[in-house]
């Protein structure tokens, strides 16, 4: 029987829990070959030898183990396709015993997903700090640079994630876009069409997003804006500016002019620490951002 312990991460990456349930009389290697046909049988056999498959207690599982063990908990330390030759250095802005704030570079995903595993801030920071319990309290899009907050311990996650969910964090962004006014806002509905990578912002329907924009300076037809979103929808600021007819510079997904890099920066976070004082965090990066 499993001891109920959490299966530890390796190299900053937590293992995948296998499922659905295995089949009576089918060895785990055979089950994996059928479940993951993209992985060659010889490579899977090597992974078993390397200890990539473990039970709920973290004990290695052999290739001939019955696949029915999956029902009790079996885990797979998957290969990292985008492994890096040298460690990715993540700049620390500030930290306490409960959290650590970093200055995320553009081009790194917040969490490991798809083609971005080693090239994610979560994995890079876990490796750098030697702490596999680090988890982001919120997220930034891969092309977006700036302030990103992580919790250090499992028991702290809920308290800080709740700050963002309950809109108790003041978020300020800076961006470059065509000049359309000194101060304006956008309130509307954001939704993502099925199968699309981008979202749509519309004035029609029940509003679920709101952002206030303030011009901080102009250079010809372009302007530097501060954006203060009070909601946190996917691609919110990008979609709002696109709907206003002024897509962010470098945001070709939403119609912006090419610039080598999305000119959107998560400039600062401010919140009352549930276990401390008022916190103000600011990026050291400045616009325009160079190509990632």
Q: Is the Cβ–Cβ distance between 283 and 268 less than 8 Å?
A: yes
In which region does residue 18 sit, left (phi positive, over 0), alpha (psi from -120 to 50) or beta (all else)? beta
Say whether 39 sits in a helix, a strand or coil.
coil
Count of CB atoms within 10 A of residue 88's CB? 16
Give CA torsion, residues 287, 289, 290, 292, to 10 deg. Answer: 170
99-102 long-range Cβ contacts below 8 angstroms, 24+ apart: 99/137, 99/149, 99/150, 99/151, 99/152, 99/156, 99/160, 100/125, 100/129, 100/134, 100/149, 100/150, 100/152, 101/147, 101/148, 101/149, 101/150, 101/269, 101/281, 102/147, 102/148, 102/150
Q: Is the Cβ–Cβ distance between 144 and 182 less than 8 Å?
A: no
- Provide the annotated active-site residues: 141
């Amino acid at each position: 029987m499993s001891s109920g312990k959490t299966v530890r991460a390796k190299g900053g990456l937590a293992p995948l829990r296998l499922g659905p349930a295995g089949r009576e009389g089918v060895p785990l290697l055979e089950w994996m070959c059928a479940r993951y046909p993209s992985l060659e049988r010889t490579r899977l056999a090597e992974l078993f030898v390397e200890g990539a498959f473990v039970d709920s207690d973290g004990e290695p599982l052999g290739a001939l183990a019955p696949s029915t063990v999956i029902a009790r908990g079996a885990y797979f330390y998957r290969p990292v396709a985008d492994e890096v030759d040298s460690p990715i250095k993540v700049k620390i802005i500030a930290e306490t015993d409960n959290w650590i704030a970093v200055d995320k570079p553009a081009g790194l995903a917040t969490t490991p997903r798809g083609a971005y595993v080693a090239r994610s801030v979560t994995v890079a920071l876990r490796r750098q700090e030697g702490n596999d319990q680090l988890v982001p309290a919120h997220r930034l899009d891969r092309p977006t640079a700036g302030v990103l907050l992580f919790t250090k311990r499992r028991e702290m996650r809920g308290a800080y994630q709740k700050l963002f969910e309950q809109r108790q964090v003041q978020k300020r962004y800076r961006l470059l876009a065509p000049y359309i006014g000194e101060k304006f806002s956008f309130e509307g509905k954001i939704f993502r069409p099925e199968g699309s990578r981008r979202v749509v912002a519309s004035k029609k329907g029940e509003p679920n997003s709101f952002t206030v924009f303030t011009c901080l300076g102009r250079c010809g037809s372009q302007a530097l804006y501060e954006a203060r979103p009070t909601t946190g929808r996917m691609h919110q600021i990008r979609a709002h500016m696109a709907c206003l007819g002024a897509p962010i510079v470098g945001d070709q997904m939403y119609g912006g002019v090419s610039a080598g890099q999305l000119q959107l920066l998560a400039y600062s976070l401010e919140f009352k620490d549930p276990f401390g004082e008022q916190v103000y965090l600011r990026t050291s990066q400045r616009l325009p951002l160079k190509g990632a």
